[in-house]
Chains A and B, each alone.
Chain A
Amino acid sequence: MSKVHCFTSATYAYLDRVGVLVETLRQRHPEWTFWLCLADGEPPGISIDLSRMGIDKVVRVTELGIPDLRPWLFTHDVVELSTAVKGPMLCKLLDHDATKVVYLDPDIAVFNSLSEVENLLDKYNVILTPHQVAPDEGLAAIVDNEIGSLKHGIYNLGFLAVAGTDEGKRFAAWWRDRLLRFCFDDIPNGLFTDQRWCDLAPAFFSGVHILRDPGYNVASWNLSQRPISIDKDGEIRAGGHPLRFFHFTKVTWVGEQMLERYSGGRIEVFELISWYRRRLAAHALAGLPEGWWCYGTYADGAPISKKHRRLYRDRADLRERFPDPFQAGAAALAGA
């Protein structure tokens, strides 16, 4: 069986999540090669040994061969950048002869074998998981979930699997090109980072498989259809199917409210959340400066506003005048 290369993309602030992902993935697939694409730079004075986390290889955003890198970095906020790098990273792995590549978001935890995905990649070029696989009932659920999907994309790109076939590579190259140019959270203009693009994938490419098993990519947006239960043999299930992986989007107050809205009166999903928080605490990075993201500030430490990023993105004159937009000072973009 071909070796699987699995990767995630994160900043330092998300390394606790990456720790849980790697820990749970390693329990089921110690044979997979795990890559981290780091959309960040190391905090000063802190040295983090990523190999101790079970990460096989690290690729920094600066190593992806992205042209005009610093202006490009500047035009993205942290979510946009963390998703935009997924395209070039996927291509990098496929270019290095990976025959099977699986992407998992850092805030995912794996609860069961993903061998089915591995096998499906012998047959299909691309595998996607929809946010929902069955229509909702009730106005609130339709608004939250179905209209949510219409805004954010049919498929959740917390998971993506691509085979190293010609067609798989053709998909990867197309997606990378779009993300390098249009990976923004701009719903009014039809964009939501990397996700909306993949609505087009089944039309553009052959061999795109829609994985409808309710055990994959369970999250608040599909919990209404996939109640979490635990059977007498200790198997965690989603909608009656073995839970493969859970997507812990927003383990915050807001995220928990969405879960309680759709928990169906079952307590098990809160056991999952509590477990996840305990594991995050166990993987917390000591000494990481609060809110650290090296592309979040100008050189003098002043935060970069969303407005500045947008202006710089929209105006060619600014991009020409300030080739390194991160610089501080009166003569820089920050002072303009």
Chain B
Amino acid sequence: MNQNDNCRPHDEQEASAVADHFDAAYYLATNPDVQTSGLDPLRHFFKSGWREGRNPSADFDVGYYLRTYPDVVATGVNPLLHYVWAGKSEGRLPKRPMDSLRSNIEQARHPREKAGEWARVTDHGPCLERQLLTRRLAGVLSTKAVVVSISHDDYHRNLGGVQNVIRQERAAVERMGCAYLHVAPVAPLPLLAETATAQKLHVLLRLGSDHLGAATMEDLVACLETLSVAGARLFVVVHHLLGHSPEALATLAAIAAHGTIVWIHDYFTLCANYNLLRNDVRFCGAPQPTSGACGICAYGADRAEHMSRIRRFFDATRPLVLAPSETALEIWRTRGALPHRDVGVQPPARLVLARDPLPSVEPDRQLRVAHLGMPLHHKGWPVFATLARRFVKDPAYGFYRLGAPSDAQVSEGIHVINVQVNHDRPNAMIEAISEHRIDVVVNWSPWPETFCYTVHEALAGGAFVVANAGAGHVSAALRMIAPEQGCVLESEAELSYLFEERRLGPLVRDARRRRGVLIPESGSTPWIARVLDGDEFASSAPSVGSAAVMSLQD
């Protein structure tokens, strides 16, 4: 007797009634024991799953339905069956309203709480003695200059937008004959390091591609001071302050005769919640720390102190501030008002589109609509997932997610295409969009992104991009770079309308879609080069925003 024989076959009529509401892929992904058992998921749900509180799809919450409607409990009927047969027409809800956002709110926690759960990295050996460190760094004296680059983790081992910029920057400054010393906290943190431990903070050092080991900030500053006295020309480039002590960095910046650059890769200089999503759901715009909004935000408790420490750092260093987009710079300037010497815009990459457009999508072909990257709220996943689940039965559309596989957020109607962008395959996403003939990318970031790689990848892959007007650089880039290859919408209602009324098809077919290539830029290098050429720091740096536009017209 196999396991299936243990389950009494449920009534075929019942099975057929709930078929449209049961997501087998979701059920198996969220219940690995059922997957392992080999049981038919629908059969399992009918036999025991619903009684155990297992949900038949992301759109139906068994626990909610039974708690909300005790009369259903009294009947003993399978709640999904009740919903399909009666509840839906009676106006009963299959799950709590705004469930996804409410879950985010409930899980939002102050970074200090999260910090305790982050993996503690302790096995980095003893810190380098000051003399040994000085010897290891002595080689930089023979270089043109030393760029001391600060960020939140070891860019050599981790992937991401900031890490990309650092890699590109390092390669470019080394080509100029400079040394590149990268500094990251030994123990990454989702907030600033404690003030009290500022000088004793342990940091990881990487000179070029060589891992030097760990050192205290105090010893690092002392060594660099010695080297500076010996003639080394120091630049400090702060890519991220996460996990660092701004007080210790200020002492480091004080010995950098050629000034400090601070990047606004995100809004961490305004709040520890670096994408400014209040309670992890709504863009807040960085109001005053004393505002009611900060008062009820999970990140609000120490924001005044965070801002105060950051302000003291900016006050002490008066940096050149570089943002990856005009959008990011505008928000930072209007909301932060931190002291600085000058500002500039330096995109991490520029998109060059082909001259000739792609052939139009055939009128009868199903539109392939995709979300790029991980299924995360701050990347707009919930909006895409809701859309996909709503129109999954509509033959006009097929829904895809391109990115690393994830057990979370699996749904029968959303096909996952495994795409992993890494240092060896930086164009993997662009190639996948093209290879799988993705027609439309929906990018619904709920916050104003500072620079969005995925929208550039989508355009380079030849996709038509549908973006949220509040997504900052996403919508700005679309308007600026390829207005004929996408549309910017004001609300989710407009997005829904586009699909419901079949307006998307004509838009995509009439669009002048082109493929392109994404060419990496070189981070802070143009500004550093100016100084090395004897110019005033930043004052004559090119407006890279316009340079990027020009390059598109090449």
Contacts and interface: CB of A to CB of B under 8 A. Distances in A.
B465 interface: no
Contact of B292 (A111, A232, A265, A274): A111
Instruction: Summarize A's interface: helix, strand, loop or mixed.
Output: mixed
B32 interface: no
Interface stretch (A118-126, A191-199, A233-241, A306-314): A233-241
Interface residues of B, number: 26
Contacts of A236: 292-293, 295-296
A234 B284 contact: yes
Contacts of B296: 236, 271-272, 275
A270 B102 contact: yes
Given A230-B282, A236-B292, A236-B293, A274 B105 contact: yes
B406 interface: no
A274 B107 CA distance: 9
A267 B102 contact: yes
B292 A260 contact: no
Interface string B274-293: 00001101101101100111
Interface string B294-305: 111110000000
A243 interface: yes
Interface string A254-288: 00010010010101101110110010000000000
A111 B67 contact: no
B293 A234 contact: yes
A267 B281 CA distance: 9
B287 A232 contact: yes
B84 interface: no
B102 A233 contact: no
Contact of B287 (A112, A233, A243): A233
A278 B296 CA distance: 10
Nearest to B295: A111
B98 interface: yes
Contacts of A260: 96-98
Interface string B222-261: 0000000000000000000000000000000000000000
A112 B292 contact: yes
A215 B282 CA distance: 22
Most B CB atoms within 10 A — which of A111, A253, A260, A272?
A260
A332 B1 CA distance: 66
B210 interface: no
Contacts of B292: 111-112, 230, 234-236, 243
Interface in B160-184: none
Contact of B278 (A111, A230, A233): A230
Nearest to B290: A234
A270 B280 CA distance: 12
B5 interface: no
Given A234-B284, A271-B279, A274-B106, A263 B97 contact: yes
A253 B297 CA distance: 22
B382 to A, nearest CB: 12
A232 B285 contact: yes
Nearest to A235: B292
B68 interface: yes
B101 interface: yes
Interface in B298-316: 298
B290 to A, nearest CB: 8
Contacts of B298: 274-275, 278
A270 to B, nearest CB: 5
Contacts of A267: 98, 101-102, 105, 281-282
A252 B521 CA distance: 53
A257 B68 contact: yes
Given A274-B108, A278-B298, A234 B291 contact: yes
A236 B97 CA distance: 21
Nearest to A243: B292
Contacts of B279: 271, 274-275
Contact of A234 (B67, B97, B294): B294
Nearest to B281: A267
Interface in B86-108: 96-98, 101-102, 105-106, 108
B420 to A, nearest CB: 33
B83 to A, nearest CB: 17
Contacts of A268: 282
A72 B550 CA distance: 85
B336 to A, nearest CB: 15
Which of B96, B282, B292: most chain A CB closer than 10 A?
B292
Contacts of B288: 233-234
A225 B58 CA distance: 31
Contacts of B294: 234
A274 B109 CA distance: 11
Nearest to A237: B292
Contacts of A265: 97-98
A232 B331 CA distance: 12
Interface in B355-371: none
Interface of A: 111-112, 230, 232-236, 243, 253, 257, 260, 263, 265, 267-268, 270-272, 274-275, 278
19 contacts: A111-B292, A230-B282, A232-B287, A233-B288, A234-B284, A234-B287, A234-B288, A234-B294, A235-B291, A236-B293, A236-B296, A267-B101, A267-B102, A268-B282, A270-B98, A274-B106, A275-B295, A275-B297, A275-B298
5 A-B pairs with least C-beta separation:
A234-B291, A234-B287, A234-B293, A236-B292, A275-B296
Given A236-B295, A236-B296, 20 more contacts: A232-B285, A232-B287, A233-B291, A234-B284, A234-B291, A234-B292, A253-B67, A260-B96, A260-B98, A263-B98, A265-B97, A265-B98, A267-B101, A267-B105, A267-B281, A270-B98, A271-B105, A271-B296, A275-B279, A278-B298
